[in-house]
Amino acid sequence: MEKEKRKCPRCGAEVGQHSNGKTKAGSRRYRCTCCKREYTPNPKKWQYTESERKKAMRLLLLGNSGRAVGKALGMNKANVYRWAKEAQKKSPVDVDKSGDENRRF
Ligand SMILES: [Zn+2]
């Protein structure tokens, strides 16, 4: 059996890196016994597929809350909120513009 080699991101120690359970996303967590730092070498938060993302966006557009969507699709709700934010940035929003025009009149 091969043992995974881990390096502490804080103090750089390669020994005493113990597996310390998993994060909510399912990534393995580690703990450095030298400086007591806990870290996640491979956070899983970006590992959703495009179709999962689209499904989440559709559910959001139907009026579901980010929390409900996350629960329905088994993903982190913070993830859903982030996608919603990104989608808002991409699509042109003219709320600010119309506000300017109103001020002029
Ligand atoms: Zn350390």
Q: 67-94, pLDDT tens digit by residue?
A: 999 999 998 898 899 888 888 887 655 4
For the entire predicted model, the pTM comes to 0.43
Residue 1 lies in a domain: no
Ligand 1 centroid to residue 24 C-alpha, Å? 22
Residue 22 lies in a domain: yes
- Decide if 88 contacts 96 (C-beta within 8 A): no
Residue 96 lies in a domain: no
- Across 88-105, average pLDDT: 56
The total of structural domains in the chain comes to 2
- From CA 31, how far away is CA 12, in angstroms rounded? 12
Ligand 1 centroid to residue 47 C-alpha, Å? 27
Ligand 1 centroid to residue 20 C-alpha, Å? 14
Decide: helix, strand or coil at residue 50.
helix
The pLDDT assigned to 47 comes to: 66
Domain ranges, residue 61? 50-89
Residue 97 lies in a domain: no
> 104: pLDDT confidence band, cut at 50, 70 and 90?
low
Q: For residue range 17-39, list pLDDT tens digits in order.
A: 999 888 777 788 999 999 999 99
Residues within 5 Å of ion ligand 1, judged at the Cβ atom: 8, 10-11, 13, 32, 34-35, 37
Which structure tokens are listed for 81?
């909120």
Residue 24 is given by DSSP the state T
Ligand 1 centroid to residue 17 C-alpha, Å? 8
Task: Give the CA-trace dihedral at 46, 51, 57, 60, to 10 degrees.
Answer: -100
Clarify whether residues 37 and 66 are in a common domain: no
The pLDDT assigned to 63 comes to: 94
Residue among 58, 60, 89 nearest 77 (CA): 60
